[in-house]
Amino acid sequence: MKKNQLPTVLYGGDYNPEQWPSDTWDDDIQVFKKADINSATVNVFSWSLLEPAEGQYNFSMLDKIIDKLTAADFKIVLATSTAAMPAWMFKKYTDVARVDYQGRRHVFGQRHNFCPSSENYRRLAKDLVAKLAQRYSDNSHIVAWHINNEYGGNCYCENCQHAFQKWLQQKYQTLDQLNRAWNNNVWSHTIYHWDEIVVPNELGDAWGPEGTHTIVAGLSLDYLRFQSEALRDLYRMEKATIEEYDQKTPILTNFHSTPNKMIDYQSWAADQDIIAYDSYPAYNDPTYKPAFLYDLMRSLKHQPFMLMESTPSQVNWQPYSPLKRPGQMRATEYQAIAHGADTVQYFQLKQAIGGSEKFHGAVISHSQRTDTRAFQEVAQIGHELKKVGKTFLGSQVPAKVGIIFDWNNFWSYEYVAGISQEMDYVGSILDYYRQFYERNIATDIISVDDDFSQYDLIVAPVLYMMKDGLAGKINDYVSQGGQFITTYMSGMVNTSDNVFIGGYPGPLKDVLGIWVEETDAMVPGQHTKVVFEKGKKTAEGHYLCDLIHLTGERTETVAQYDSEFYAGTPAITVNSYGKGKAWYVGSRLDHDGLSNFMDGVIRSAGIQGVISTPTDLEITKRVNDSGQSIYFVLNMRNEDRKLPDELVNGWTDLLTGQQPEPNMRGWDLRILVHD
């Protein structure tokens, strides 16, 4: 078995038996088996139990836990416990604690509280991981190593400042190059000695909530890059330590958030044997948002991922945490599978009686009963996965559309000072993702470094920051027949956040065949009317409106503004470039208006949905190694829907073994193969 594969579909999640008397563990395992749960993630937050004092290790409890799970034939995901430090470490080594954005050094508590530049933390973590790997690496029931937990957050301490100075010296080599990259003649910021560089926190060149406002954008962007790499280096250290004892078992950490702004997951992906993701959509999130995040996780390595955490009922840390409605949990778990997950895992398998997450949902709730609604739904999924999991295990989601999501753009776009306080990178991406989601068109969420040639259409909303060579890559893609869309605030700056001279959209001017003279910011409640096709269709332009001039001989106006002083000028353009086409959308359009535009683009690109019948059901397709297509049909609403006729006759529902029932209840689903 390859390191990027699992032996079976994992169904389970985080289990913390150390919080309970050992004489309850057997009962827990019997309850899990009743739901066909076949795996458990253990040892996530156990450092203080494993090492009660420096160098004094006690693995007796973990031995018993692993022995119990092994005897019960469970697949084990073994964590390294390094995400939460014991109290003695803070007491003995103050440098392990982070300094926050306000310049305050933290004390014992929380988690994700370690400084990535602390040599004491690195040494102690490495020692613990080595002991774990040496002790348990020969256990064949361990199917994955789980390093740390949900990395994230920045540190602004002196150790990080010194490490950052060294990182910058290695990157820029000379201070002249650094000053030029950061444009440091502005506000007398010229640096003459490396030790004059300070971290960009609230006491210096940043202000407002962390990651939102900065004076020297190059400094702040480089600090985000540095911190992401510093945490990644910690991960690599733990991974290399495990690999000294175990070369075969997959090693990973769990990604999280929507998405995590502090960690560049695309750069981290190369070090993950399998991508793992924790999914907790808010009660009012549209269903396309978690679908987008699943597609992002799948696309990081273009292979199936692990849904490592989700909740069987409710979370307890969102502003409002309602219960999932009957059937909703089943639909949301299968949504992850439909978009490429090969596991369904929960936080948590047994509900804690204390701590901040004691009211977070669990398979075994405080009632300790198995006749609850939530447990019955958990068991239903377990029985179904045992039946059909081998059919989709390892299967791919083929996509001919790629949407570019780039962490450097994420960081830089939301650091822009002025213009509008509504700079929302993720929201702008979701505008376009939703267009494909509602048409049931498979979509990869790709990086700027991915191979563009495998896609018929690439969409790059707010491609604000352009790395060297990217414009040439886009030009080649379009000239060879590709279809490309980008928008307002694209082609603006280089990787140091310095503006390209010569007019916007900078290095994209030729492929787009336009020049943007100015950008108007819409104040709240204001919009600009946009007219398509000589008045046949209209849209509302919000947020920003670019004042566009056509420059290419083959550039055409698709839609124009019909209000404000720029009425009659282009709002949307298309340029025929070589064998392909490149569109530019100069404003953030309302959903219906964007749909009108995307209808034409999708026709031009020859993109097809999974089925031909329009439907508001969510339908995705995975293709397994034998070439069989498995269709996941999800009703993501609490309303009855009808299965399209083209998916009834000649199809088999894998869950029933029969022709699919056409009437779908709220939150219902079908898993179909063609006869």
- Summarised one tens digit per residue, pLDDT across range 217-228 is 999 999 999 999
For residue 270, give both structure tokens.
């190369």
Residue 423 has a pLDDT of 83
Residue 207 has a pLDDT of 81
Cα dihedral 215/174/410/213 (nearest 10): -10
Residue 257 has a pLDDT of 80
CA distance 445 to 455: 11
Give 59-68 contacts, CB < 8 A, sequence gap 24+: 59/131, 59/135, 61/18, 61/22, 62/18, 64/22, 64/25, 65/17, 65/18, 65/25, 66/42, 66/136, 66/139, 66/141, 68/17, 68/25, 68/26, 68/29
CA distance 334 to 424: 29
- Whether the predicted model's global pTM rises above the 0.75 cut: yes
Task: State mean pLDDT over 77-103.
Answer: 97
In percent, the amount of the chain with pLDDT more than 70 equals 100
Structure confidence at residue 261 as a pLDDT band (50, 70, 90) = confident
**Is the model's pLDDT at 326 over the cut of 80?**
yes
Task: State mean pLDDT over 173-202.
Answer: 96
Residue 222 has a pLDDT of 96
CA distance 45 to 140: 22
CA distance 377 to 422: 40
Q: Are strands 343-346 and 10-13 parallel, antiparallel or unpaired?
A: parallel
Judge whether 309 counts as a catalytic residue: yes
CA distance 327 to 313: 11
**Is the model's pLDDT at 546 over the cut of 80?**
yes
Residue 35's Cβ-count burial label (10 Å; 0-12, 13-18, 19+) is: buried
Q: What is the pLDDT of residues 502-529, one digit of tens each?
A: 999 999 999 999 999 999 999 988 999 9
Residue 174 has a pLDDT of 98
**Is the model's pLDDT at 350 over the cut of 80?**
yes
Residue 420 has a pLDDT of 80
Q: What is the pLDDT of residues 119-147, one digit of tens each?
A: 999 999 999 999 999 999 999 999 999 99
Q: What is the pLDDT of residues 420-461, one digit of tens each?
A: 887 899 999 999 999 999 999 999 999 999 999 999 999 999
Task: State mean pLDDT over 612-622.
Answer: 96
CA distance 166 to 607: 48
Greatest pairwise CA separation for the chain in angstroms = 79
> Would you tell me how many other CB atoms lie within 10 Å of the CB of residue 266?
21
Q: Which residue reads 């900078």 in tokens?
A: 506
The overall average pLDDT reported for the chain is 96
CA distance 527 to 512: 25
Query: In degrees rounded to 5, what are phi and psi of residue 80?
Result: -100, -5
Q: What is the pLDDT of residues 294-316, one digit of tens each?
A: 999 999 999 999 999 999 999 99
Residue 494's Cβ-count burial label (10 Å; 0-12, 13-18, 19+) is: middle
Residues β-bridged to residue 443: 401
Cα dihedral 374/375/381/382 (nearest 10): 160
Judge whether 150 counts as a catalytic residue: yes
Considering 51, 309, 333, 618, which one is annotated as catalytic?
Answer: 309
% helix / strand / coil in the chain, to the nearest 5? 35, 20, 45
Q: Are 450 and 266 in contact (CB under 8 A)?
A: no
CA 94 centroid distance within chain? 33
SS3 8: coil
Structure confidence at residue 1 as a pLDDT band (50, 70, 90) = low
CA distance 383 to 404: 37
Residue 2 has a pLDDT of 81
Q: What is the pLDDT of residues 230-255, one digit of tens each?
A: 999 999 999 999 999 999 999 999 99
CA distance 281 to 310: 9
For residue 256, give both structure tokens.
């999280």
Task: State mean pLDDT over 161-188.
Answer: 97
Considering 51, 150, 377, 618, which one is annotated as catalytic?
Answer: 150
CA distance 632 to 615: 14
Kindly list the distances between the CA atom of residue 183 and the CA atoms of 176, 187, 196, 202, 498, in Å, as whole numbers in the listed order: 10, 10, 16, 21, 7
CA angle 499, 501, 504 (to 5 degrees): 75
Where is pLDDT greater, at 415 or 353? Answer: 353
Report DSSP letters for 536-560, one per residue. TEEEEEEEEEEEEEE-STTEEEEEE
**Is the model's pLDDT at 214 over the cut of 90?**
no
